[in-house]
Chain A
Amino acid sequence: MLIMLGMLGVFYAIVIFILYTTQQKSSPTFDEYSVGGRSYGPWYVAMSYVNSWWPGSVFIAFFGLASGAGVFGLYGLAYSSLGVAMMYFMATRAWRWGAKYNLRSQPDLLGLRFNSRGTKVVASVIGIVSLFPWVVLGMQALGEVFQIASAGAWSVTTCLFVGLAVIVIRQYWTVKMGMRGLIMTDMFQGIVAYVFSAALCLILLSGIAGGPISFGTLGDVADQYLRVPGDGDSYGPFYLFALIFTGVVGSLCWPTSFQRIYTASSVRAVKSGTIRTVLISGVFYSLLMLVGIASTVMPAVADSPQTGWFTIMESYGGTWLLGLGATMVFAASMGHIDGSVQVCGLQIANDLVNSEKRQLTDSQLTKVAKGSMLAFMAAAAIVAYATFNMTRLQLLAQISYQGVVQLAIPLFLGVFWRGGNGKGAVAGMVSGFVTALVLTAIYPDDIAGLGSLTGGVVGMAVNLAVFLIVSKATGTTAEEKARVNEMFEVGKRPTRIAPVDLSFEDQIEELATNPAPEKI
């Protein structure tokens, strides 16, 4: 017990040390506080994205999916790689609009694109409400980490209290430093959670560690673990489609994901960061799932797939490896909670409290953001404690996923298409969100009558239809069309070929004859 708690303690101390040494002495501007002054390079963007993408439950729920249902677990690889790739295609326009119009959040972009405060507020509320259950689940996961680390010596309540205390203390720095407080530790947390675990999975699968699983075991798993849902079970053929589809479009709908575009120093940093995100994420998740599928041959894992990660750690390396495994879950949970708390505080201040009529100064915005983060975190901590033994919270998280993807319609159409208007966007999002909410409450998993589609996909269809109909019915003024056209001009990529092969003297001559344009 002391060894495992000690490992968690050392990890935590390093996180606090990094925060302490990298904090700024002067008070930051709101731009600095909210998006890190748009100054971070590709590795920081990538690590921050990976941290906000994979919660600690990737080692519990997703691992449980692989060790309980086999190849089904790999659907996460498909949706995360395809989804993160969408960021690449959206990067140029979204980043340029961000820099040109000083955007700090995803609802900021929607509000600007549709020239509508309603769109901004609705999008922001959907994002915040949807993230809330995940923060609560993340806090509860930390309680479970301490249950493992204390080897059952601490009561459930004590473990939850310790988990909450640890994350609440950590958030002092998130509140104080804003985006900088995340970025600086995401690198360390990410290495522990995703890079170390990927290396560990590779060692286990290589067979050099001995024990019952290896790459070779994958060929021996039972038939049932090689079948996807819909192939001989109660699910219809569209179940997997619905899960991957909502995952792909939802990847940029999560406020935490989109904000990574605005923390980047350039379009190059976003795109380069995206490549790294796909690499880290893909390698880590694939190896984790392969270990999960291979471990179906272990009776102890088959009996309790959700705790499979910890079972494997303990059976391979005893207390030390179990402690390391728990630290990885701890790191992943912390990174996810940090990102969520930060972006929700930012959105409350920037999108909901600040407005044309009630314009806040930089320092007021920062204060409101700090207060909002504290309130958001306190509310999540209270709910985490009150609902620790409730399974319905998992359902709420499922509903939130189906709900947040409703942002995709105005977001994707708004960035890639010049049509539509604010009234259509608001009506579409509200109707889609309500449809998804009601359907998912009635059919938490799938809708059998629709080939196992999920409520979120049906909600998106309603959302799209309402968006197009209302936009068409209410029309767009010539002035608004001109404004949108101007925005799209700003987002156009450079068409000129770079002077890659020019000599230094030629480049100077080139610059002298073609002075650089004003930076956007």
Chain B
Amino acid sequence: MKEYIRGLSRKSIMMFFGSIYALALLVALFPPLYMWSSGIRFEILGIPFAIMYWLINGVVLGLTLWGLYIVEDIRGELDEDLLPATTPLTGE
């Protein structure tokens, strides 16, 4: 799995996580969506959907950021003392 993540291009990683972030933005900012959720009493885990709508958006966003952090960590993109791009180190 780690090798697969390292082999992906930066662009495809950002496309994936960026799309989820954009979706979370849409859920919070697009009036037809949040108006649709307004007033729905259908319960999920005992909580009405009108409330769950906002909670789910927050959870998805938090998990997305966490996922991106893990991926960037695996790819070694978080540390400042890394060497500039030369030959790959994994022997691929």
What residues of chain A have their CB less than 8 Å away from a CB belonging to chain B? Answer: 71, 74-75, 77-79, 81-82, 85, 88, 96, 215-216, 218-219, 221, 223, 226-228, 230-231, 237-238, 240-241, 244-245, 248, 266-268, 271-272, 274-275, 278-279, 282, 286, 290, 293, 493-502, 510, 514, 516-517, 519-520
Candidates B2, B38, B76, B82; contact of A227 at CB < 8 Å? B38
Whether the pair B80, A267 counts as a contact (CB closer than 8 A) is yes
Q: Give the size range of B's interface with the partner.
A: 35 or more
CB-CB < 8 A to A516: which residues of B?
Answer: 81, 83
Which one of A71, A223, A267, A499 lies within 8 Å of B89 (CB-CB)?
A: A499
* A520–B82 alpha-carbon span in the complex (Å): 11
| Complex contacts, A227 vs chain B, CB 8 Å | 38-39, 50
A218 touching B79, Cβ below 8 Å: no
Provide the bound-state CA to CA distance between A248 and B21, in Å.
12
Partner of A81, one of B48, B61, B84: B61
The 9 closest A-B pairs by CB, nearest first: A498-B76, A74-B54, A226-B50, A268-B78, A78-B28, A237-B31, A231-B38, A495-B85, A494-B82
* Known A-B contacts A496-B83, A498-B82; A286 and B55 likewise in contact (beta carbons under 8 Å): yes
Summed over the interface, the residue pairs from A and B with CB atoms below 8 Å come to a total of 165
B47 (CB) vs chain A CBs: closest residue: A218
A290-B74 Cα distance, complex, nearest whole Å? 36
Residues 55-84 of B, flagged 1 when their CB comes within 8 A of A and 0 if not, give: 101110110011011001011111111111
Give Cα A500 to B2, complex, Å: 10
Binding site for A on B (CB under 8 A): 2, 6, 10, 21, 24-25, 28-31, 34-35, 37-41, 43, 46-48, 50-51, 54-55, 57-59, 61-62, 65-66, 68-69, 72, 74-86, 88-90
Contact call A275/B69, Cβ cutoff below 8 A: yes
Interface residue SS majority, chain A:
helix
Measured in the bound complex, the distance between the Cα atoms of B80 and A493 in whole Å is 9
A79, A499, A514: the one within 8 Å of B28 (CB): A79
- Which residues of chain B are near A520, meaning CB under 8 Å? 80
A194 to B: closest C-beta gap in Å: 15
Residue pair B78, A271 in contact (C-beta under 8 Å): yes
In whole Å, how far is B19's beta carbon from the nearest beta carbon of chain A?
14
Cβ–Cβ contact A493 & B54, under 8 A:
no
Query: Is A226 touching B40 in the complex (CB atoms < 8 A)?
Result: yes
Contact B29 A244 (CB under 8 A): yes
Query: How far is A399 from B35 in the complex, measured between Cα atoms in Å?
Result: 27
Question: How far apart sit A501 and B6, CA to CA, in the bound complex (Å)?
Answer: 12
- In whole angstroms, what is the CA distance A221 to B40 when docked? 12
Given contacts A71-B50, A85-B61, A241-B29, 19 further A-B pairs with CB under 8 A are A75-B54, A78-B54, A81-B61, A215-B46, A219-B47, A226-B39, A226-B50, A228-B50, A244-B28, A272-B78, A286-B58, A293-B51, A495-B85, A496-B82, A496-B86, A497-B76, A502-B89, A514-B83, A517-B84
* 11 A-B pairs (CB sep. < 8 Å): A88-B69, A216-B46, A218-B51, A219-B48, A237-B31, A267-B78, A272-B69, A496-B86, A497-B88, A497-B90, A516-B81
Q: Are B51 and A290 in contact (CB under 8 A)?
A: yes
